[in-house]
Structure 1
Amino acid sequence: MPRLPSSPPTVMTGEPSKPGLVRAIGRWSLTALVLNGIIGSGIFGLPGSIAKLLGPAAPWAYLFAAAGTGVIVAVFAELSSQYRETGGQYLYARDALGRFAGIQVGWFFWLARLTSGAAVASLFVIYLGEFWPGATSPLARAAVIAAIVGGLAVVNFRGVRAGAGLSNLFTVAKLVPLGLFIIAGLWLVESRTPPPLATAATAGQWFDAFVALVFAYGGCESAMIPAAEAKNPRRDAPFALVAGLSVVTGCYLLVHLVTMWALPDLAQSERPLADAARVFAGPAGAAVIALGVLLSTYGWLSGASVTAPRLTYAMAERGDFPRAFGAVHPRFHTPHVSIVLWAVLVLVLALYGSFIWNAILSVAARLVTYAASCVALIQLRRRNPEADAWRAPAGNFLAVLGIVLCALLASRLTITHATIMAVVAAIATANWLAVRGR
């Protein structure tokens, strides 16, 4: 059976006799990776949902969510700098906590990627409604989602170069509509009332808002994976994290403020950026923003369709997932079974749930992987105190704080989401029982 290149996980020990990665990523390149890893598509759909929960105090939630994200990013910065292989949370949990934990984290990370894909596909259809109002009807919605997800699967089935090239083509699209929206909005919107901190929102509503914003800040788990290839990770990683998160938070804050100032009924808007642009820039402005969002969401999906199937392939290669998903197409040399499975499940989830339903389920799955990574950091610090890696200040404290934050946010899950999580945990356990003797 053909196979993709793979290698076992290697922890950096600082021994000069061992080969290492080329340290070629500078401070600003590392900062760009943080920006690219975090800014996705969630900000295009969440302002209305956050406003519904918190009203005019909603902008403050972005600051609080950024602080929590900073804790998790610091944990991942240290973890990623210890490995030459980029396996993410699955690798960290498997190496630090054992095979059972690795399989559990792998399944939940896969669930997070699937539901993120479904949420973004749903958001694509919502903004397509700006040009084709009938796109949001059940039949048309199903056809559009099937076309974009299926089309990306075909592209990636035929070769990784085609898929990666398509992803690179759309990377810049996520920043262009945000930049245009912020500049035009700040220039043209007349009402600029500062957001009050006092609000009638309950503590539960604040936590619900934080849960939703984890989706917008998601991506921090991959932003620092190349830290081991930075020229000076001990100096540049903290800078990149602080600068990157500051830029992202500022961007998100300005986007929400502009939408809030332009739309008194922001909480009722499904396409908040397009609706706000229509107020201060007319139909043409709304069309430009909507087109930018379509490019951004499609670009995110193109990238996810390349990377997500590689997780099930990698797990199958290590014997931690059904062997069929480690199959490589003899002609195209792609993990075709994993690609097809990804497309089918994203389609099913997108047709079953709304944008926000899938976004929250994605967050729920991420919280499991975040908490496991925090536990892994504590274990690896105990096991490898001399590891040649970037060390997060007060790393153990940050890891414990991250676990507490994840637990608090997970307590806000609905019964439906919690049930799905329990089913996935049971499937992962059955998976472990089936492969543990191999």
Structure 2
Amino acid sequence: MKRDLSLWAVICLGINAVIGQGIFLLPGKAASLMGPAALLALALGAILCFGIALCFAEVGSRFQSTGGAYVYARETFGDFVGFAVGWMTCWVAVLSWAALSKGFTNVLAYFLPVVGQGWTQMLCAAALVALLTAVNLRGVGTGATVVKVFTLAKLLPIGIFIGFGLFALEPSHFVPFAPQGIAPSLADTTLLLLYAYVGFETLMVPAGETHNPQRSLPLALLITLALCGAVYMGVYGVAVGTYGGLAGSANPVAEASSRFLGPGGAVLVAMGIVCSVAGTNAGAALVSPRRFFAMAEQGHLPRILGAIDPQTRVPHIAIVLTGVLTLVLTVSGTFEQLLVVGVLARFAQYIPTAIAVLVLRRRSQGDRACPPATYRIPGGPLVPLLTLVLCGWLLWNTDPTKLAFGAGAIVLGIPVYLLQRFRTSAAKLGS
């Protein structure tokens, strides 16, 4: 595989994974819970996610291979835990991409209503998946270029909204700052907004195709989260300060922009949403196949998925399989019922990675074979321990049904794990 992904390309992957359609819709929900004081919840959510990101940064600085949290879990806790993490993230990646492709048609329908319903919607979503699959078959550099273009196209309207909006702020809209008080709603609002930051961990997956991954990936991770936090707070601050009826609004950013940008404001926001969702699709198309490739490379999935095209140096079989699975799910519509497994998939990455920080630190003291960390979180064990407390809090506040679906997905993967172990053992005996 070619190490064609620069620091900027990886940052763009992270931005596309974090900033999606939600940035244009969340301000209305947040304002209804806390009013202007939701800015505090946004800041708190960024700080909490920053702790998780620091854990990924330290553990990721030890490894150069593709796979992200799957690699960290496998190297730290062994084959089965690694398989469970990888299995969950592989399928959630495909399900999420199917949902994103349909989401793209929904936002595109603002300009072309015909693509928002019926068979034309499925055809448009399928065409997007097929196109992005073809793009990524041409090479990781081509796929990264598309991601970078959509990142700039996504950030431009957001930048215009924030830049012009700062000059149209009405101080009276920030009074009262906390209509219902801060303490009663802070936990609920932070929990809601915390999920606006998730997705940053995906930029750690293509480590095997990144320039100097042990330095670039931790740096890209922290830059991505800091930038996304600033963007979220900027969008929310401008939306609150320019539109008094933000609470409960179905299209809060569009309505706020029309206040100081005129009728073109809604069009600008609509274009931003289209570019935002398209960019998220482009990022999913690049990263998702690498999850299957990483597992195949270690024998946890059929070896053919680990094949590399001799010319483009990309995992072409994994790319095609991911595209086909996404197409099938998109056309059938079954992904909507299965997306609930994604909740546990987040924790299946966050919790083992936080524990891995502590385990690998201890292991590296007496095991020279343990790869050294080029980045170390300051504060000793404080950050990983606080991350585990945060994950426990999030799990406690998560619908048990969603967690049960996620656990069921892991159970369904056990026969695959056992079959691949048998095949690997048989191959070793045969040789």
The two structures have a TM-score, normalised by structure 2, of 0.79
Local SS of the residue matching 1:175: helix
The one of 167, 174, 179 aligned to 1:193: 174
Measure how far apart 1:425 and its partner are: 1.2
Alpha-carbon distance between aligned partners in 1 of 2:248 and 2:335, rounded to the nearest angstrom: 19
SS of the residue corresponding to residue 263 of structure 2 reads helix
Aligned to 2:379: 394
Letter of the structure 2 residue corresponding to residue 228 of structure 1? Q
Note the C-alpha offset of 1:307.
2.0
- Report whether the alignment pairs 1:421 with 2:406: yes
Partner of 2:63, secondary structure, is: coil
Distance (Å, rounded) in 2 between the aligned partners of 1:76 and 1:39:
15
C-alpha distance in 2, partners of 1:311/1:63? Answer: 31
Contact 2:17 2:283 in 1 (8 A): no
Residue 414 to residue 141, structure 1, CA distance change in 2 (3 Å): farther
Structure 1 residues 390, 158: CA separation in 2 closer, same or farther (over 3 Å shift)? Answer: closer
Q: Which residue of 1 aligns with 2:47?
A: 67
**Letter of the structure 2 residue corresponding to residue 368 of structure 1:** A
Residue number in structure 1 paired with 2:369: none
Residue in structure 1 matching 2:214, options 228, 244, 250: 228
Indicate the residue corresponding to 2:19 in structure 1.
40
Deviation at 1:72, TM superposition (A): 0.7
Per-residue deviation at 1:71? Answer: 0.8
Tell me: CA distance 1:151–1:105, structure 2 relative to 1, closer, same or farther (3 Å): same
Query: Structure 1 residue 213 and structure 2 residue 213: aligned?
Result: no
* Residue from 269, 275, 279 that aligns with 2:255: 275
Alpha-carbon deviation of 1:416?
A: 4.6
Q: What is the CA distance between 1:424 and its match in structure 2?
A: 1.8
Aligned to 1:131: 111
Q: Which amino acid aligns with 1:423?
A: G
Equivalence for 1:91: 71
Deviations 1:284-326 (A, max 9, x none): 2221232233223212322321221021012112101134433
- The question of whether the paired residues in 2 share the 8 Å contact of 1:111 and 1:365 is answered with no
Aligned to 2:397: 412
Aligned equivalent of 1:15 = none
Deviates more, 1:72-81 or 1:377-386: 377-386
Change (3 A) 1:354 1:281: farther
| 1:95 CA drift (Å) | 0.4
Contiguous gaps of at least 5 residues in structure 1: 7-23
1:179 paired with 2:143, answer no
Matched to 1:417, the amino acid is K
Cα distance, 1:112 vs structure 2 = 4.3
Residues 41 and 190, structure 2, Cα contact 8 Å, conserved in 1: yes
Q: Could you tell me how far 1:68 is from its partner in structure 2?
A: 0.8
Deviation at 1:92, TM superposition (A): 0.8
Q: CA deviation at 1:342?
A: 2.6
**Pairing partner for 2:282 from 278, 293, 302:** 302
Farther off after superposition, 120-129 or 295-304? 120-129
TM-score, length-scaled by structure 1: 0.78
User: CA separation of 1:112/1:370 partners in 2, compared to 1, >3 Å: closer, same or farther?
Assistant: farther
Which stretch has the larger CA shift, 281-290 or 244-253? 244-253
Cα 1:183–1:145, aligned 2, differ >3 Å: closer, same or farther?
Answer: same
Give, in angstroms, the shift of residue 62 of structure 1: 0.8
* Aligned-partner Cα distance in 2 for 1:128–1:271: 15
Q: How many Å apart are 1:214 and its aligned residue?
A: 2.5
Q: How does 1:4-403 map to 2 (within 5 A)?
A: 36=15, 39-41=18-20, 42-190=22-170, 192-193=173-174, 196-197=177-178, 199=180, 206-207=187-188, 209-211=190-192, 213-220=194-201, 222=203, 228-229=214-215, 245-266=225-246, 268-327=248-307, 334-346=314-326, 348=329, 351-352=333-334, 362-385=342-365, 387-403=372-388
- Give unpaired runs (5+ residues) of structure 2: 367-371, 425-431
Shift of 1:139: 4.3
- 1:269–1:145: structure 2 CA closer, same or farther, 3 Å change rule? farther
Q: How far, CA to CA, are the matches of 1:70 and 1:293 in structure 2?
A: 25
User: Compared with structure 1, are the counterparts of its residues 193 and 208 closer, same or farther at alpha carbon in structure 2 (3 Å cutoff)?
Assistant: closer
Give SS of 1:79's match: helix
Name the amino acid aligned to 2:56. F
- Distance in 2 between residues matched to 1:33 and 1:162, nearest whole Å: 14
Q: 1:391 aligns to what SS in structure 2?
A: coil
SS at 1:216 equivalent: coil
Amino acid at match of 1:113: A
Percent identity between the aligned chains? 32
Cα separation, 1, equivalents of 2:53 and 2:12: 12
**Structure 1 position 219, deviation (Å):** 0.9
Q: Do 2:343 and 2:406's aligned partners in 1 also have CA atoms closer than 8 Å?
A: no
